Structure 1
Amino acid sequence: MDAKERNLIAKVSKLYYLEGWTQNEICKKVDLSRPIISKILQQAREKNIVEVYMKDETVHTVELERKLEKKYGLHEAVVVSVSNKGPEMVRRRLGQAATAYLSKKINQLNTIGVSWGKSVSTFVEEFQSQQQSHIHLVPLIGGMGQGFVQYHSNHLSFQLAQQLNTSSSYLYAPAVAETADLKHAIKNSKDVAAVLEEGRKVDIAIVGVSSPSCESTMVGMGYLNEQDVRTLKDSGAVGDINSCFYNRDGQLVQHPINDRVIGLDLEEIKEIPEVLAIAEGAYKAEGLHVALKSKYLDVLVTDDKTAESLLEYD
């Protein structure tokens, strides 16, 4: 390794590990592609330029995991201690935990379904490059347009496929159609129907869990407005998975948004052999509780504060 290469590895590592930059931000800073940045970070660990230690600040996280698994019958719960961390760092820690979980079993998988949103985006961002050409990535919901592309399912599926040096499908559809009739027409088109069928057959799905809120990614992306949020709450919505909004009984609410989403619905998500959810924020406790009780999720990656809120939830 020459001095120039070592300096680049040191610079990228410092930005990522010490200053908290995302890989996408580093790409723009050093004018290199994301796969190259990921490989540089991998080199930094392999050449012992960087040593990563996982320090669990409180032993109670293991206890929280066991309690969550027992309460909800989860295959596995992963709880990360995030005391005094900002929202961005919390999502990053959860993304790292989720990638560690998936990496343990990736050799047993053939297909991975990917939803959308900030949590799923951070998970993909944190995933380190591997050679897993046997795996195929499938988006679980549509996602087209110029805004907030980094959160779209198609983009995330393609990005994760790059990290795994493998292939991905593309769902040629928006996440939410303008009308219910247009949604049905798009879903029944040959190409879209074929990818949705692939999604129903994936080995594992990576999803987020959100709630009807003006702070949700769907509002930021323009799929929902403030009136939609109010009417969703009025209809009894407490949470959503893959942009399918459900009530306290875990049933889809009667709302125009649910009639226009182009992607797998709750029952189709439930039929996937393993659904891994990445979710943070105690304000999501009710929606998460319902999703877990309704058996839509098999693995939960969350922070300790959210875990405590779930365990207190009756």
Structure 2
Amino acid sequence: MFVEREQDVLRAASMYYLQDLKMEVIARHLGTSRSTVSRLLKRARETGLVEITLRPSSTRAPGLGRSISAAFGIDTYVVPVPDSAGSVERLDQVAMTAARLLTSWFDSDMVMGVAWGTTIAAVSRYLAPKPTRGSAVVQLNGAANMRTSGVEYASDLISSFGAAFDAAVHHFPVPAFFDYPDTKDAMWRERSVRRVLDMQRRADVAVFSAGAVAGAVPSHVYSAGYLDEADVRRLHDEGVVGDVCTVFLRPDGTWADVSLNSRATGPTPDELQRVVRRVCVVSGDNKVAPLLAALHAGVVTDLVVDEITATALLDAATDRPSPRTTPRPR
């Protein structure tokens, strides 16, 4: 019981002092009351947990953030996590921070483009309600696949963003991948599809992750029936390391001649670069290679990443070519 209590103190202090969450939000997350959260925070201060454990002098987060920002010309938010943190805990902390940032950035009369996936689904669970007027949330990539419709999963995720901001929701009723490029070209001429594409082009903010082929927390596109074995083999043969919005990338960020991309329904890197603020949320060792590819493709302006992944990213970047960055206008 004592160990569980200490864990609650640590979790409450981390969310309050590092993620800047309100006591009411922390209480909901811990399944307790606001007064209990207040007592947990008091205990953290009295025992020195906040000073010694949460803000040790050896923390790498600030320096990592500055190094990544300098290397890639982006804004970086590195979330401190202990070296012993597991993949689920790391994702949880990053999702909370990303949700807080999105809430501060998104406001009335704005459009947010959202790409579905495991990481963004985690972000959706931590969005604090912020009523807006005249705003909209639009789905960036199709969701249907060859095994199931996939629509319900994406619909719930996109709708949760809309509910958090009282925003109009625009779903994208197309497959994640068409069987034939000609079919995609024909669908892109349909008025119902063009309406959603036009809304995507109006986006002020886009939020997405970097998809990875494998790992402790596998990316949804690789684990839920969107690709068959032949597709996976083809991606491997073409040197693909991951995707952004279901558009596949090589390590150097190239994508245009990857065969499956002619059938993909997500925005290409060139199209994504038209969005002023492009928020990439990443956590996990398996995300380092696709994240670096996304940075080389120039699709990221704001990166939210955990401390362990950030360290691995900088280590990997020393052996890679220079990124093709497109910084956000200041």
Q: TM range, normalised to the smaller chain?
A: 0.7 to 0.9
Residues of 2 paired with 1:150 and 1:85: CA distance? 32
Is residue 113–residue 205 contact of structure 1 (8 Å, CA) maintained in 2? yes
Q: Which amino acid aligns with 2:283?
A: E
Please name the residue that 1:85 is paired with.
Answer: 85
For residues 256 and 151 of structure 1, do their structure 2 counterparts lie closer, same or farther at Cα, with a shift above 3 Å needed?
A: farther
Q: What TM-score, normalized by structure 2, do the two folds share?
A: 0.75
Percent of residue pairs identical: 23
Q: Is the 8 A contact 1:175 1:263 kept in 2?
A: yes
Indicate if the aligned counterparts of 1:219 and 1:225 stay in contact, CA closer than 8 A.
no
* Residue 249 (structure 2) pairs with residue 261 (structure 1): no
Quick one: distance in 1 between partners of 2:26 and 2:162? 14
Partners of 1:273 and 1:46 lie apart in 2 by 39
In structure 2, the CA distance between the partners of 1:193 and 1:39, relative to structure 1 (3 Å rule), is: farther
Asked whether the equivalents of residues 137 and 168 of structure 1 are also in contact (C-alpha less than 8 Å), the reply is: yes
SS in 1 for 2:275: coil
CA contact (8 A) 1:139 1:171 kept: yes
Structure 1, unmatched stretches of 5+, are: 1-13, 19-36
Cα contact 2:139–2:171 (8 A) shared by 1: yes
Q: Which runs of 5+ in 2 are unaligned?
A: 1-7, 13-23, 42-49, 319-330
Counterparts in 2 of 1:105-120, with a 5 A limit? 105-107=105-107, 110-120=110-120
**Is 1:64–1:79's contact at 8 Å kept on the other side of the alignment?**
no
* Residue identity opposite 1:208 in structure 2: S
CA contact (8 A) 2:112 2:137 kept: yes
Q: Is the Cα–Cα contact under 8 Å of residues 238 and 258 in structure 2 kept in the other structure?
A: yes
1:12-31 to 2 correspondence within 5 Å? none
1:224 to 192, 216, 227: 227
CA distance in 1, matches of 2:60, 2:109: 31
Partners of 1:212 and 1:237 within 8 A in 2: no
Q: Work out the CA distance in 1 between the residues paired with 2:87 and 2:149.
A: 22
Distance 2:97 2:253 in 1: 27
Write the mapping of 1:1-314 to structure 2, written as runs, cut at 5 A: 41=28, 47-51=34-38, 55-56=54-55, 59-107=59-107, 110-144=110-144, 151-152=153-154, 154-213=155-214, 215-252=218-255, 254-313=257-316, 314=318
Q: 2:187–2:193: 8 Å Cα contact kept in structure 1?
A: yes
Check whether the contact 1:109–1:135 (CA below 8 A) recurs between aligned residues: yes
Report the aligned-residue RMSD: 3.0
Find the aligned partners of 1:281 and 1:307 in 2 and give their Cα distance.
9
For residues 61 and 179 of structure 1, do their structure 2 counterparts lie closer, same or farther at Cα, with a shift above 3 Å needed?
same
What's the CA shift for 1:233?
1.8
Residue pair 1:113, 1:137 contacting (<8 A) in 2 also: yes
Residues 156 and 72 of structure 1: CA distance in aligned 2, closer, same or farther (over 3 Å): same
Residue 104 of structure 2 aligns to a residue whose secondary structure is helix
Measured in 1, the distance between the counterparts of 2:33 and 2:270 equals 43
Task: For residues 9-50 of structure 1, give each alpha carbon's deviation from its aligned partner in whole angstroms, at most 9, with x where no partner exists.
Answer: xxxxx9xx79xxxxxxxxxxxxxxxxxx989839x8995453
Q: 2:211·2:221 contact (CA, 8 Å) conserved in 1? A: no
Distance 1:213 1:233, change over 3 A: farther
Give, in whole Å, the separation in 1 of the partners of 2:156 and 2:267: 17
Deviation at 1:56, TM superposition (A): 4.9
Aligned partners of 1:131, 1:304: CA distance in 2, in Å? 32
Q: Which amino acid aligns with 2:184?
A: K
Matched letter for residue 263 of structure 1 = G
| Pair 1:80–1:108, CA change in 2 (3 A) | farther
CA 65–108 in structure 1, closer or farther in 2 if over 3 Å, else same: farther
C-alpha change, 1:190 and 1:291, in structure 2 (3 Å) is same
